[in-house]
Amino acid sequence: MVAAIGNGAAFRRGRDFAAWVGIVPRQYSTGGKQKLFGISKRGNIYLRRMLIHGARAVLLRIKYDTAGLGQWVHRLSQRAPRNKVIVAIANKLARIAWAVLSSGRDYRHQPLQHAAA
């Protein structure tokens, strides 16, 4: 990833980086109506492939995690097909990687915040 984007300064946000890699929904919007299709598949093919394979590995191991990312994946997998969950995990991994590269700091795991009832 560092070889492809360096320190991430070419992208303003993590979403911009994820769009460049091609793991965000392709959009077609007209007349105020927004249509979302499959992933756009633009950008670096190798990097996208590695993020997808990494997301598959995360999905296999995440069933043992009950906090943070594990809760998010469990909730998502209850309402979405497996391949969509994999692409969502890859998108999140890309955004996390961009944040780490652009800030220059080490990754710090933050548990998911529970909503107050």
Q: Are 8 and 102 in contact (CB under 8 A)?
A: yes
Q: How confident is the model at residue 64 (pLDDT cuts 50, 70, 90)?
A: confident
Residues above pLDDT 90, as percent of the chain: 11
pTM across the whole model = 0.75
Domain membership of residue 47 as a residue range? 2-103
The answer as to whether 47 is a domain residue is yes
The answer as to whether 113 is a domain residue is no
Does residue 22 carry a pLDDT above 90?
A: no
State how many domains the chain has.
Answer: 1
Whole-angstrom CA distances from 16 to 9, 57, 70, 111 are: 11, 24, 25, 25
Q: Give the model's pLDDT for residue 112.
A: 54
